[in-house]
Amino acid sequence: MHFLLSIHCMTFNHSNYIKETMDGFCMQQTNFPFVAIIVDDASTDGEQEVIKEYLNVHFDLTTQSSVKKRETEDYIMTFARHKTNVNCFFAVFFLKYNHYSINKAKDTYYKKLEENAKYIAICEGDDYWILPSKLQQQVDYLESDSECNLVYTNFVQLVQRNNTFTKVTCRTSDFEDMIEENRVATLTTCFRKESLLRYNSNRPLNKHWLMGDYPLWLYLFATGTPHFMNIETAVYRVLENSASHSTDFGKTVAFLLSSYDIRWYYAEVFDRKYLLHDSQIRAMREIINLSDVHDKNTKFDYFLFFRPHSISDFLLLIEALSTSYRITRKIYNFCKYRFSIVHKSLSFH
């Protein structure tokens, strides 16, 4: 079967949310066939049973020409066509053991079904789509503009803790905007598979970043002309503890530093290091504010992070430190541990 588009859906312990995710896939009205590739990473909360029941109700599991089942030592896979939406196919990989815990790649499972796909969309198992024409509109634009490599949209944010919805309006951005802040919500995107392949062949193998989408968007903004559609297509669910939203101080700081390292790398690769100045100050302030909120006395080396090259840079560093509520302790620790290096660094020529 040839699919014009494939959906990447990684999921783990999303039993309470995965039905809405799958509903969002099945509601898509397109004039082309697409496949939703769902990879369940050996969930332990009953999610696999929820998915199996959904397949039994909504998909044709009896017609031999459209249903396939396969089992290996790594997974059990079910491939089937939707009963009423003839352009919608699901390929579900029920992994037999958790790949994340042993750092085993899961994106290889996508490749098994999308050999001929031209476009890719992403939606993880705790988010969902709300616009039936999302994929059709995005593919139509990509087909009409050969220079465009990515289409993204507005979305709605759902805070699960108190069940509140907030509309999030994005805007047309460029590489400089993206260095300042990631303005692309992954669940709203649709992009060319060939662009992803080029990104994979150029990305650094020695980087262990805590997010996979942000570096991809920076690469696409630097090498093509992404397009923003001013429509709402999806709901982003904010859970209390996730990779990007954690109540753990150490994990939050690690995520923030990983984000900054991504900015630094691509600003350097694409000769935009001058864009990092404000980003450095902002990141330091975030870390300082987080340490106050969590009442943590961090051992973070602000001096090496900021890399001041002039007296004005050094003064900005002190300014960032002084925004902290615990100003005396912060500046005292900073001067105590870094005074000798500061002294050498301020011997400008």
Res 273: pLDDT: 77
Res 322: pLDDT: 60
State the Cα–Cα distance between residues 114 and 293, nearest whole angstrom: 45
What b/e sequence results for 173-205 when a residue is b if at least 16 CB atoms lie within 10 Å of its CB, and e otherwise? Answer: bebeebbeebbbbbbbbbbbbebbebbeeeeee
Answer whether residue 183 is part of any domain. Answer: yes
Answer whether residue 39 is part of any domain. Answer: yes
The arithmetic mean of pLDDT across residues 258-280, rounded, is 81
Same domain for 120 and 195? no
Answer whether residue 263 is part of any domain. Answer: no
State the Cα–Cα distance between residues 233 and 151, nearest whole angstrom: 12
Answer whether residue 98 is part of any domain. Answer: yes
User: How far from each other are the two terminal CA atoms of the chain, in whole angstroms?
Assistant: 67
Same domain for 92 and 162? no
State the Cα–Cα distance between residues 91 and 83, nearest whole angstrom: 14
Res 204: pLDDT: 86
Cβ-in-10-Å burial (0-12, 13-18, 19+) of 60 comes to: middle
- pLDDT band for 340, please (50, 70, 90 cuts): very low
Q: 23-37: per-residue pLDDT in tens?
A: 999 999 999 999 999
- H/E stretch holding 79 reads strand 75-82
Q: Which residues, including other chains, have CB under 8 Å from residue 323's CB and lie 6 or more apart? A: 285, 288, 289
Res 272: pLDDT: 81
Same domain for 166 and 188? yes
Q: How many domains, in total, are found in the chain?
A: 3
- pLDDT band for 252, please (50, 70, 90 cuts): confident
Q: What is the CATH number of the domain that holds 134?
A: 3.90.550.10
Indicate the residue among 95, 125, 155 that finishes a domain: 125
Indicate the residue among 96, 125, 154 that finishes a domain: 125
Answer whether residue 258 is part of any domain. Answer: no
Same domain for 114 and 146? no
Res 238: pLDDT: 92
Same domain for 294 and 310? yes
Q: 127-137: per-residue pLDDT in tens?
A: 999 999 999 99
- pLDDT band for 341, please (50, 70, 90 cuts): very low
Cα–chain center distance at 83: 31
Answer whether residue 265 is part of any domain. Answer: no
Res 324: pLDDT: 52
pLDDT at 47 over 50: yes
Res 349: pLDDT: 35
Q: 105-114: per-residue pLDDT in tens?
A: 898 899 888 8
Q: Higher pLDDT residue, 274 or 289? A: 274
Answer whether residue 260 is part of any domain. Answer: no
Percentage of residues in the chain having pLDDT higher than 90: 55
Indicate the residue among 125, 156, 178 that finishes a domain: 125
The arithmetic mean of pLDDT across residues 314-323, rounded, is 61
Contact 237, 17 (CB under 8 A): yes
The arithmetic mean of pLDDT across residues 309-334, rounded, is 56
Same domain for 25 and 62? yes
Q: Which of 318, 348, 319, 310 is nearest to 334 (CA)?
A: 318
Res 132: pLDDT: 98
Same domain for 236 and 339? no
Q: What is the mean pLDDT of the chain?
A: 84
Contact 240, 160 (CB under 8 A): yes
Contact 122, 217 (CB under 8 A): no
Q: What is the pTM of this model?
A: 0.81
Res 313: pLDDT: 60
For residue 129, the cross-strand partners are 234
Same domain for 165 and 215? yes
Same domain for 118 and 11? yes
Res 196: pLDDT: 95
pLDDT at 323 over 90: no
State the Cα–Cα distance between residues 39 and 35, nearest whole angstrom: 13
Same domain for 214 and 276? no
Integer-rounded Cα Rg, in Å, for the chain is 23
Answer whether residue 266 is part of any domain. Answer: no
State the Cα–Cα distance between residues 77 and 91, nearest whole angstrom: 7
Q: Higher pLDDT residue, 38 or 248? A: 38
Task: Residue 282: give the domain boundaries.
Answer: 272-345
Q: 175-225: per-residue pLDDT in tens?
A: 988 988 889 999 999 999 999 999 999 888 778 887 889 999 999 999 999
Same domain for 222 and 276? no
Same domain for 19 and 83? yes
Q: Higher pLDDT residue, 8 or 268? A: 8
């350097």: which residue's tokens?
A: 268
Res 348: pLDDT: 35
Res 205: pLDDT: 79
- pLDDT band for 302, please (50, 70, 90 cuts): low
